[in-house]
Structure 1
Amino acid sequence: MDARLSPDVLVVSGTAIAPYVDDLARLRSEVFRQWPYLYDGDAAYEAGYLKVYLDSPFSVVVLVLDGDKVVGASTGLPLADAGEAFRAPFDHASIDPLEVFYCGESVLLPRYRGRGFGHRFFEEREAHARSLGGFAWTAFCAVERREDDPRRPPFHRDNDDFWRRRRYAPHPRLSVQLPWREVGGGEVDHTLRYWLRPLERVI
């Protein structure tokens, strides 16, 4: 599937993602280098991480284009097709992982923020999940940082209010433990909290 929705947004799924993998890796490395992820990107890791989206026929990537340049992207796929680290927290949860559509991440270059693309990313992924059928939840993970972390930029605003306005809520018992190499340091273990929203039907 490859459907152009507007001059700015393109939605691709499954193997149609392949031409954009390098752009996704570049954007992830550039955007996640900043707070709160402080990710010191690694090309080999990016290739392995993004492979799950190519392998899943039900994956989706929402792209923001400025001409031919990809300046933003948002990913999603059934949780059952995601990596083991993201599936494992549901092993002893009351939520059936087969009913969860996982919204991977949203990355957007700073100059394009504040134009409504954040909402568009969620709307397109949620619509994709509904179109597949069988999903009762959409979910994503967000890294947890201490309020007093000295690396927190002055006047930084977290996305919690935005996510709550979209009816997502953090789950107190569902989290993911992931290591990655931080800027200016070595590999560090991180906790990412799951946020979930019931995926209601649209009539």
Structure 2
Amino acid sequence: MNLEVRSFFGKEANAYKTALAQLRIEIFREFPYLYDGSLDYEEQYLDTFIGSDSSIIVVAFDGPEVVGVSTGIPMQHEPPNVQQPWIDEGFDVQDIFYLSESVLRKSYRGQGIGLRFFEEREQWARELGFGYATFCGVIRPEEHPLRPVDYVPLDHFWKNRGYQQAQGLICHMHWQEIGEDSESEKALQFWSKVLLPY
């Protein structure tokens, strides 16, 4: 393995857009997201980050191959379904940095890359002056029929990074999952932390 983690800002990541989109489709098919995605949609989704000077795209490489990606963007650039739960609780979304997602191939997990994903995005958010970092994870029942026997939730990892569940803050997103004929609504739990300056 020849692992390298690099951060890109805005248009710097454009050359990797297709590879990043393909990786998102591959990893998000796994439990708990079970996402049945399309390349066209994923490339359009990534355009939001590539078109923003305040976004960050952290990419893990094994040599020339993209094996992981993690993204972040100011909350104010997210759609209303992501912003509204925070607005309803009286938060100023202009002070919140949204850690959109992280995906990493299984064979590269447990080697500190996930930690780097958080460190790089949090550092960028601090440099931009944000007071909070947040992300959300899909809510699945423990008895879900497609839950692997060896599945381990990331709650412990997130808590070790200083994140806590933001009680009462739930957003809803729509996507088509494996076995569905069309999109359906999914509930996602927000986690957050205060970004203390270094």
1:15-164 alignment runs, 5 A limit = 15-133=11-129, 135-164=130-159
2:24 & 2:123 partners in 1: Cα distance? Answer: 23
Structure 1 alignment gaps of length 5 or more? 1-5
2:85 & 2:17 partners in 1: Cα distance? Answer: 27
Query: What TM-score do the two structures reach when normalised by structure 2?
Result: 0.94
In the TM superposition, residue 84 of structure 1 has moved relative to its aligned partner by 2.7
Moved over 4 A (4+): none
- Secondary structure of the 1:105 match is strand
Letter in structure 2 aligned against 1:180: W
**Could you give the per-residue CA deviations for residues 79-111 of structure 1, whole angstroms, max 9, x where no partner exists?**
111233212222212221110000010111111
In the TM superposition, residue 24 of structure 1 has moved relative to its aligned partner by 1.5
1:55 & 1:80 partners in 2: Cα distance? Answer: 14
8 Å Cα contact 2:3/2:60 also seen in 1: no
2:196 & 2:116 partners in 1: Cα distance? Answer: 17
- Secondary structure of the 1:38 match is coil
Q: What RMSD over aligned residues (CA atoms) do the two structures have, in Å?
A: 1.4
In the TM superposition, residue 7 of structure 1 has moved relative to its aligned partner by 5.7
1:20 & 1:159 partners in 2: Cα distance? Answer: 27
1:23 & 1:194 partners in 2: Cα distance? Answer: 28
Q: Percent identity?
A: 40
Aligned residues: 196
1:180 maps onto 2:175 in alignment: yes
Structure 2 alignment gaps of length 5 or more? none
Match of 1:171 among 166, 169, 176: 166
Deviates more, 1:158-167 or 1:78-87: 78-87
